[in-house]
């Protein structure tokens, strides 16, 4: 399935604003893949499809996740919006014929992150945060870092997300804490970790 066809199909299930965001994430992810020696095609597709389920009505997310056989945690039951990421991965597979495990994993992890993120996972997480349509305090520092030190940029973005949720009094998904701890451990003992 080619890029243009996916774009047309997405325009039927996403608002023009969200579609513009998805194209922004896709282009940013391609640029980052080029900068860091990743796969540009996979980055572009994962970026384009990462929010495929973002406009599914919240009330439908839990039953849809269950129908797809997604294991739903207590946090996701309490904050079903988080399920849009794993459901987007399932839609990419079932509706858009994407069977590449790396692309599907990057879509799955794009909102929470997780331990042991691959280069593509990191690129998609960050591209979602820094694409040109985004604008929030502290973004410029993350943007600048995203093209020089991927892990430092990711750490900044995870910290920003955790701080924001804390301020809002929200639940923090444990995968986000795991992503942060994993990066910090690797930063402290770089010789033991080459990825
Ligand atoms: N790591 C997280 N843990 C818990 N909730 C989160 C996490 N990341 C995002 N959320 C919440 O999930 C919702 C959707 O997140 P997201 O899709 O990233 O936002 P956006 O629509 O800006 O892309 C937000 O309301 C946010 O507060």
Residues 83-124: pLDDT tens digits?
Answer: 999 999 999 999 999 999 999 999 999 999 999 999 999 999
Q: Which residue lies with its CA nearest to atom 21 of ligand 1? A: 54
Residues 116-128 have pLDDT tens digits of 999 999 999 999 9
All structural domains of the chain: 3-188 (1.10.3210.10)
How far is it, in rounded angstroms, from Cα 80 to Cα 124?
21
69 vs 136, more confident: 69
State whether residue 9 is helix, strand or coil: helix
Task: Say if residue 48's pLDDT is above 90.
Answer: yes
Q: Is 138 in the pocket of ligand 1 (CB under 6 A)?
A: no
Task: Pick from 82, 169, 175 the residue to mutate for probing ligand 1's pocket: most ligand atoms within 8 Å of its CB.
Answer: 82
* Inter-residue contact 133 to 20 (CB < 8 Å): yes
Q: Which residue lies with its CA nearest to atom 11 of ligand 1? A: 82
Q: Is 81 in the pocket of ligand 1 (CB under 6 A)?
A: yes
Q: What number is the average pLDDT over the span 127-140?
A: 95
Q: Which residue lies with its CA nearest to atom 15 of ligand 1? A: 111
How far is it, in rounded angstroms, from Cα 128 to Cα 54?
13
Q: Is 22 in the pocket of ligand 1 (CB under 6 A)?
A: no
Cα of 138 vs its chain's centroid, Å = 19
| Alpha helices (H) along 74-116 | 74-78, 84-94, 101-108
Task: Say if residue 1's pLDDT is above 80.
Answer: no
Whole-number mean pLDDT of the chain?
Answer: 96
Confidence of residue 189 (pLDDT cuts 50, 70, 90): confident
Task: Say if residue 195's pLDDT is above 70.
Answer: no
Q: Is 116 exposed, middle or buried (0-12, 13-18, 19+ CB in 10 A)?
A: exposed
The atom of ligand 1 lying closest to the CA of 82 is 12
pTM as predicted? 0.96
Question: How many A from CA of 79 to the centre of ligand 1?
Answer: 9
Q: Which residue lies with its CA nearest to atom 16 of ligand 1? A: 111
């Amino acid at each position: 399935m080619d890029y243009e066809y996916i774009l047309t199909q997405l325009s039927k299930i996403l608002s023009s604003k969200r579609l513009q965001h998805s194209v922004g994430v896709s282009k940013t992810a391609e640029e980052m893949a080029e900068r860091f020696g990743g796969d540009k095609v996979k980055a572009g597709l994962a970026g384009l499809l990462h929010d495929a389920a973002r406009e599914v009505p919240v009330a439908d997310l839990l039953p849809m996740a269950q129908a797809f056989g997604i294991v739903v945690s207590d946090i996701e039951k309490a904050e079903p919006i988080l399920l849009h990421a794993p459901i987007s991965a399932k839609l990419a597979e079932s509706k858009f014929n994407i069977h590449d495990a790396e692309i599907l994993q990057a879509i799955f992890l794009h909102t929470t992150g997780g331990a042991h993120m691959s280069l593509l996972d990191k690129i998609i997480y960050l591209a979602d945060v820094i694409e040109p349509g985004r604008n929030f305090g502290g973004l410029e520092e993350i943007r600048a870092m995203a093209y020089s030190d991927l892990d430092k940029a990711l750490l900044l973005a995870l910290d920003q997300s955790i701080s924001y949720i804390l301020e809002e009094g929200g639940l923090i998904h444990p995968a986000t804490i795991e992503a942060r701890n994993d990066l910090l451990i690797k930063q402290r003992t770089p010789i033991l970790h080459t990825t």
